[in-house]
Structure 1
Amino acid sequence: MNTSSTTVANLLLEVITLPVSDVDRALRFYAHQVGFTLDVDYSPNDAFRVVQLTPPGSNCSIQIGRGLIDWPTGPLRNVYLVVTDLQDTRSRLLERGVEVSEIRHKVPINAWDGGFAPGLDPARRDYASFAEFSDPDGNGWVLQERGYRNI
C-alpha cells in the first residue's frame, strides 16, 4: 500500500447515535414533532433495540435505542441541521410543538468575533443565521441557514 498518495478515500458520515433515556419518547419527538423519517425500528429481544431516523433530504441518519451505547444519556451538543429557509423551518417546528430558540445571526459577518444579533442576517448570507432546539434528553441541535445550493 502506498501511504504517500495524495488521494483521500471518501469518508461518508451516515449515522450519529444519540443517547436517550426513553426510546419511545425520543421516537415520537423525532418522527412526529421534528419530522424525521422512520427507517428502522428493530428489537430482537428486551436488551436491544435500534431505531433509525433520517432528516428529510439528509444522507445522514440518527440512531436511538437500547444496547447501542454505553455512555449516559444526553446531552450531545451542536449537531447541525442545514436548511435553506431558517424562518420557515423554525415556524414549522414551532407549529409541531418543538421549542426552538429565537433566530440570531453573526455580527460582524466579515470579521466575525463571536458576536450575535437578533434575527436573520439582513443579507441572508450562507452560514450566518442560527436557531437551536433540544430533544427531551437535552441533545442539542443547531439549525443553520445556507441557501446557495439545493440542500
Structure 2
Amino acid sequence: MQVTPPGSPASVIFGTSVTAQEPGTAQGLHLIVSDIDAAHDELERLGADPGEIFHDAGGVFHHGGTDARVPGPDPQRNSYGSFLSFSDPDGNGWLLQEITTRLPGRVDPAATTFASTADLAAALRRAAAAHGEHEARTGAEDPDWPDWYADYLVREQAGQDLPQ
C-alpha cells in the first residue's frame, strides 16, 4: 500500500516484499506534521500509544535514540523544534516533527498546498494581521486585498520574503 499525505510530493510504502529489511528493524523514520499536539491526540485516539511530545536540548534536530530529549514541545514553539515518537505494529520506530513554517527553498511556490482547513485558516489569520499592518502603513484601504493575501500565503509557505 502506498500512502501519500495530503499536499505532499512524497509517499510512504507499506507491505510485504517491499524491502529485504526485517519488520521492526526500521528506526528513526520521520514524518512531518503541522500540529504536534493534534498528531499526538490522533495517534492516541487510534490506539498507537505515542510517546510524550519532546524537544531537543541542542537545537531543532534531535540526537539519535533518547539522548538530549527534553519533555514538552519546544518552549518557543519554533518550527522544526518539537517531536514525538511511536512504534507501528511491526515495531518500526517513527518520529513526528512539527513544522509550521518551512525554511526558505523547501516549498515550491508554484505548488502551494495546505494540509488541513485549520492550517489554511491559521495562514489566513496571519495574512489578515499582516494586511492590517500594510493598510495602516499606507493609510488607505486596499481594494486588491485578495491578491495581497494570495501573495502573502504563497511567499510564507515558500519561505520567501513577505510582502510589505
TM-score, normalising length: structure 1: 0.57
TM-superposed CA distance for 1:64, in Å, is 2.6
- Stretches of structure 1 that go unaligned for 5 or more consecutive residues are 1-50
1:90 equivalent to 2:40? Answer yes
Deviation track 1:69-98 (CA, whole Å, cap 9, x = no partner) reads: 333222211111111110111111111111
1:130 equivalent to 2:80? Answer no
Query: Which one has a bigger Cα radius of gyration?
Result: 2
SS in 2 for 1:94: helix
Letter in 2 for 1:117: V
Letter in 1 for 2:94: W
Tell me how far apart the structure 2 counterparts of residues 134 and 57 of structure 1 sit (CA, whole Å).
Answer: 24
Tell me how far apart the structure 1 counterparts of residues 85 and 7 of structure 2 sit (CA, whole Å).
Answer: 19
Aligned residue pairs total 100
Tell me which protein shows more helix as a share of its residues.
Answer: 2
1:78 equivalent to 2:31? Answer no
Letter in 1 for 2:73: L
1:69 equivalent to 2:15? Answer no
C-alpha change, 1:70 and 1:126, in structure 2 (3 Å) is same
Residue among 56, 63, 81 paired with 2:6: 56
Letter in 2 for 1:60: A
How high is the sequence identity, in percent, across the aligned residues? 38
Supply the RMSD in Å over aligned alpha carbons.
Answer: 2.4
TM-superposed CA distance for 1:108, in Å, is 4.7
1:44 is aligned to none
C-alpha change, 1:109 and 1:136, in structure 2 (3 Å) is same
Deviation track 1:29-48 (CA, whole Å, cap 9, x = no partner) reads: xxxxxxxxxxxxxxxxxxxx
Pairs within 5 Å for 1:2-151:
51-109=1-59, 115-149=68-102
Tell me how far apart the structure 2 counterparts of residues 145 and 120 of structure 1 sit (CA, whole Å).
Answer: 9
C-alpha change, 1:68 and 1:116, in structure 2 (3 Å) is closer
SS in 1 for 2:14: strand
C-alpha change, 1:108 and 1:64, in structure 2 (3 Å) is closer
Tell me how far apart the structure 2 counterparts of residues 69 and 80 of structure 1 sit (CA, whole Å).
Answer: 18
SS in 2 for 1:57: coil
- Which of the pair has the greater relative contact order for Cα pairs under 8 Å at 6+ separation? 1
> Deviation above 6 Å: which 4+ runs of structure 1?
none
